[in-house]
Structure 1
Amino acid sequence: MSDVIKRGKSWQARIDYYDKNGKRHFKSKSGFKTKRDAKLFTSKMIVDKQTKQFVSNKPPYFYEYFWRWFKSYKEKVVTERTKLKYVNTYKTIKKYMPDIRIDEINREKYQKFIDDFGSNHARETVAKINSHIHACVKDAIYDEALTKDFVSRTTLVFDKSKKRKVDYLNEKETIQLINHLKKTRNKRYASKYMILLAVYSGMRLGEIQGLTWEDINFNFKTIDINKSWNAEERKYQPTKNESSTRIVRVNDEILNIIKELKSNDDKIVFKGQFNTIPSSRAVNNVLKKSLSELGIIKQGFHFHSLRHTHVAYLLSHNVDIYIISKRLGHSTISTTTNTYSYLIDEYKNRSNEQIESILNDMNIYTNKDTKVN
């Protein structure tokens, strides 16, 4: 609450506030020449409870609001890797929209941000940041900090030359790697078993690290992915998101290989000779060495590339993209198609040839019964 009071020939602005115990206090400022000036001051200022000084009552900058939203609603429930992505979005908003307050931003200003940022960034990068901001905006509307969804009906702009190409092994290389790992595996070292499972299942590294024997149903040939392993904090944590919790079907061969690691005194599937779960660095070193021994040169190929390899293999055998999306634990099929658009385009020509063959067959059957008069 605030009011203005006439003090002799000038006006005084007075603003009240409550301390942490709920006790009411007043802070005033005198010397305003007109009542209007005093009222304008009270409309723009509040009292900081800590310093007991007047501070601006302006709405926060949008990047400030985004950061508060992230700390309140996202930080506690996402993985460390995902947190870094939100931090990157925050830094991007601050860099490109440093002076725009939450009550000032609109669809036109946001489109300009997308235009500027997207001009030299890949589609995947722009889409990820846009999705973070859109989630924040929807919550802001719910909390009545905003009245309109300014992200809706804007157009994603991106640099087509920066289209990300996922790194994967072709079918021949995949078979070579599988055979090599089978021949050289040693149950005292879990890394090669983890690599094999990644190729066969498309699971993420944290999901594989977090597997326990109760997650594997050898009768139904399924793996229940219900948690992930946090290597930094050495503890289990939820999967990347809700859709990542899933059950995937595998085959007898990989299950029989994994079964070699089973012991009676441990619930964890993948443990190395030092009774620890192999780290990202450890499995990537084994993967890099294995590829080198096979003469397969793939710069930048790492454990997550095995997930891409799994997708490439399924696509090459005409598995439906919707089924692949569910298998990967993606929340929407668009996530899959955007991530693997490069791979999908590669197999498009094969599909086109198949379609042409089908149409030719149609002509064969119809021409039999068609006569030209």
Structure 2
Amino acid sequence: MSRKRKNDSYFVDHYDDWIETYKVGAIREVTLNKYYMTAKTLRRIVPDLKISELDRLVYQNILNEYAITHEKQTTMDFHHQVKACISDLFHDGLIERDPTYRAIIKGKPAKPKKMKFLQADELKKLVRSLDLGTEINMDWFTLVVAKTGLRFAEALALTPKDFDFKNNTLSISKTWEYKLTSGQFAPTKNESSVRTIAIDWQLVGQFGPILKDMPADEPIFIKKDANGHYKRAFNSTYNNFLARKCKEAGVTEITFHGLRHTHASVLLSAGITVQSISKRLGHSNVTTTQEVYMHIIDELAQKDNQIMIGTLTSIA
């Protein structure tokens, strides 16, 4: 195909071809689906845009149109996925200038996100209300997340061999692609998410015997159907279960993400350092932990101030 003919082709068609050429088989399916959604959005916004018509004004208008109904961070993600394709067009010499240069990212104001988590006494009530029988169920899943602070996908991916009951540790090295119809193991969110954490002796004593006869490499919380295929795990199903258990226990209704926050909050309030909690949660850096749990850190700082004043006052 000549360069002129290529320039006269529709950008949306080129973007579809670009995804198939450079992304299919090279990225995770969950991420690939996001590119497909971007392609679908482009067909809605600029179905008849030709490559030769791409300039900074046209591109900025695409972003502005998208930003009307999306928050700024979402618009930024959309921009990055479209820009990657356009950058290739520029470097391949199919367009003379990069229309994404100095693009302005707009978007709806982000909705204030109020983090829901349990206080230590509420967490105790929830744990005491769990039905921890001899069969693996969502109650056991709830206990494990409460005691470890794992992300939802990390907890789903746990296998018996991840537990070292002799040394009271748990290794996190993978996640479960629960958003796919056929779930499977996947890499962790980032390198920092690969970690080994300490677990308490109560969890060891309770959970160890349950896992004794389970296959070492099989996911603990994902069951198989009659055909031997892994059943789909829906985040909403688990969250609805947890909300119901919270309601029955008479505590604040939270999600499993909120239970992860609860785990960290309880440890922070107990005086565990931010650095230790950051490593336990698998955050990429301490700054992330500080930003997420600033409300608790501020509360602890106020308590520290009271202790310092009391200490200094006693000096006479």
Q: Which of 71, 80, 83 matches 2:20? A: 71
Q: CA deviation at 1:249?
A: 0.7
Alpha-carbon contact 1:70-1:86 (below 8 Å) kept: yes
Q: 1:142 to 1:269 in 2, by over 3 A?
A: same
Q: Using the TM superposition, name which of 253-262 and 159-168 deviates more.
A: 159-168
3-state SS of the aligned residue for 2:133? Answer: coil
TM-score, normalised by the number of residues in structure 2: 0.70
Aligned to 2:171: 223
Q: CA deviation at 1:290?
A: 1.2
Cα distance per residue 1:180-226 (max 9 Å; x no partner)? 22xx3112133212112222333233332322222223326131323
Aligned to 1:236: 184
Give the number of the structure whose residues are more often strand, by fraction.
1
Q: Which of 232, 256, 267 matches 1:303? A: 256
Q: Which of 131, 152, 158 matches 1:211? A: 158
Alpha-carbon distance between aligned partners in 1 of 2:297 and 2:97, rounded to the nearest angstrom? 40
Asked whether 1:195 is paired with 2:142, we answer: yes
Alpha-carbon contact 1:60-1:101 (below 8 Å) kept: yes
Aligned to 1:49: none
Equivalent residues in 2 for 1:137-156 (5 A)?
153-156=102-105
TM-score, normalised by the number of residues in structure 1: 0.61
Q: Which of 240, 243, 261 matches 1:288? A: 243
Larger RCO, structure (CA 8 Å, separation 6 or more) = 2
3-state SS of the aligned residue for 2:172? Answer: strand
Aligned to 2:37: 88
Alpha-carbon distance between aligned partners in 1 of 2:307 and 2:58, rounded to the nearest angstrom? 50
In the comparison of the two structures, how many residue pairs are matched?
308
Q: Which of 270, 285, 292 matches 2:220? A: 270
Read off the aligned partner of 1:169 and give its amino acid letter.
Answer: L
Alpha-carbon distance between aligned partners in 1 of 2:35 and 2:184, rounded to the nearest angstrom? 22
Alpha-carbon contact 1:188-1:273 (below 8 Å) kept: no
RMSD between superposed Cα atoms in Å = 4.6
Alpha-carbon distance between aligned partners in 2 of 1:316 and 1:110, rounded to the nearest angstrom? 48
Q: CA deviation at 1:69?
A: 3.5
% identical equivalent positions: 23
Q: Using the TM superposition, name which of 208-217 and 308-317 deviates more.
A: 308-317
Q: Which of 295, 302, 311 matches 1:346? A: 295
Q: CA deviation at 1:114?
A: 3.9
3-state SS of the aligned residue for 2:124? Answer: helix
Alpha-carbon contact 1:191-1:283 (below 8 Å) kept: yes
Q: Using the TM superposition, name which of 151-160 and 266-275 deviates more.
A: 266-275
Q: 1:90 to 1:351 in 2, by over 3 A?
A: farther
Alpha-carbon contact 2:141-2:155 (below 8 Å) kept: yes
Aligned to 1:279: 233
Aligned to 1:3: none
Q: CA deviation at 1:116?
A: 4.1
Asked whether 1:173 is paired with 2:122, we answer: yes
Alpha-carbon distance between aligned partners in 2 of 1:255 and 1:88, rounded to the nearest angstrom? 44
Alpha-carbon distance between aligned partners in 1 of 2:47 and 2:296, rounded to the nearest angstrom? 43
Read off the aligned partner of 1:350 and give its amino acid letter.
Answer: E
Q: CA deviation at 1:333?
A: 7.2
Q: 1:143 to 1:225 in 2, by over 3 A?
A: farther
Alpha-carbon distance between aligned partners in 1 of 2:99 and 2:285, rounded to the nearest angstrom? 22
Unmatched 5+ stretches in structure 2:
none
Alpha-carbon distance between aligned partners in 1 of 2:196 and 2:244, rounded to the nearest angstrom? 28
Q: Using the TM superposition, name which of 251-260 and 343-352 deviates more.
A: 343-352
Read off the aligned partner of 1:215 and give its amino acid letter.
Answer: D
Read off the aligned partner of 1:279 and give its amino acid letter.
Answer: A
Q: Which has the larger radius of gyration?
A: 1
Alpha-carbon distance between aligned partners in 1 of 2:113 and 2:20, rounded to the nearest angstrom? 30
Q: 1:185 to 1:94 in 2, by over 3 A?
A: same
Cα distance per residue 1:163-184 (max 9 Å; x no partner)? 4444443444333222322xx3
Q: CA deviation at 1:291?
A: 1.3
Cα distance per residue 1:43-100 (max 9 Å; x no partner)? 744xxxxxxxxxx752541x44443343334443555544443333333334344454
